[in-house]
């Protein structure tokens, strides 16, 4: 397994003011959400916390971790249209995640919830996390909107990513993803 220590961070950057880490061959936990999975009021209420994180450039701060935990709990309540409950939309997303497994990345674990997706992957050398996620989101949004006979935004613009620090963290993420399956039919 390939894990990095804080002092080895080379692929850290910000996009849309949100910190990301993109470095091939490192395990990455990713969450991306439907555009309506968290109400705008909640996002607005958390804007000050987000600003602190953006300004501090400390993606690993306790505050950032607590904010992510809050958002994960909130999305598990099934807010929004929950388009991923539709079996055809679910299948499109599932197939997209699996399509480049063993080509661009190793797909370790995934769960498709009614309004968000959790994935653990290890991108191959030369493969950029942003490009992988963009291809998933772009392809699935177009196909899902056709099936649902709708137009407009499908996914939230950004996503949450966290690189795996060590073996303990790796197994905690796998368990987190697997345990989300129990929340799926809420």
Longest dimension (CA), the chain: 48
Percentage, residues of the chain above pLDDT 70: 68
CA angle at 38 for the pair 85 and 45, rounded to the nearest 5°: 170
Taking residue 169's Cβ as centre, other Cβ atoms within 10 Å add up to 15
Local confidence band at 82 (pLDDT 50, 70, 90 cut-offs): very high
pLDDT tens, position by position, 107-121: 999 999 999 999 999
pLDDT tens, position by position, 97-107: 999 999 999 99
Query: Average pLDDT of the chain?
Result: 81
Residue 87: exposure state from Cβ atoms within 10 A (0-12, 13-18, ≥19)? exposed
Local confidence band at 6 (pLDDT 50, 70, 90 cut-offs): very low
pLDDT tens, position by position, 127-155: 989 999 999 999 999 999 999 999 999 99
pLDDT at 3 over 50: yes
- What are residue 20's phi and psi, to 5 degrees? -135, 160
């Amino acid at each position: 397994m390939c894990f990095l220590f804080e002092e080895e961070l080379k692929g850290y950057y910000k996009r849309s003011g949100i910190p990301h880490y993109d470095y091939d061959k490192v395990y990455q936990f990713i969450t991306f959400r439907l555009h309506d999975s968290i109400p705008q009021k909640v996002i607005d209420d958390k804007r000050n916390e987000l600003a602190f994180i953006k300004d501090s450039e400390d993606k690993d701060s306790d505050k950032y971790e607590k904010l992510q935990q809050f958002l994960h709990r909130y999305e598990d309540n099934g807010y929004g249209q929950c388009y991923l409950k539709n079996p055809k939309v679910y299948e499109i997303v599932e197939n997209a995640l699996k399509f480049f497994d063993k080509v661009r990345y190793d797909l370790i674990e995934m769960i498709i919830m009614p309004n968000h997706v959790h994935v653990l992957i290890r991108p191959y050398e030369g493969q950029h996390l942003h490009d992988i996620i963009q291809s998933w989101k772009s392809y699935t949004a177009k196909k899902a909107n056709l099936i649902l006979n709708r137009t407009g935004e499908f996914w939230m613009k950004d996503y949450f990513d966290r690189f795996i620090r060590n073996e303990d963290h790796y197994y905690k993420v796998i368990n987190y993803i697997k345990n989300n399956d129990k929340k799926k039919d809420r």
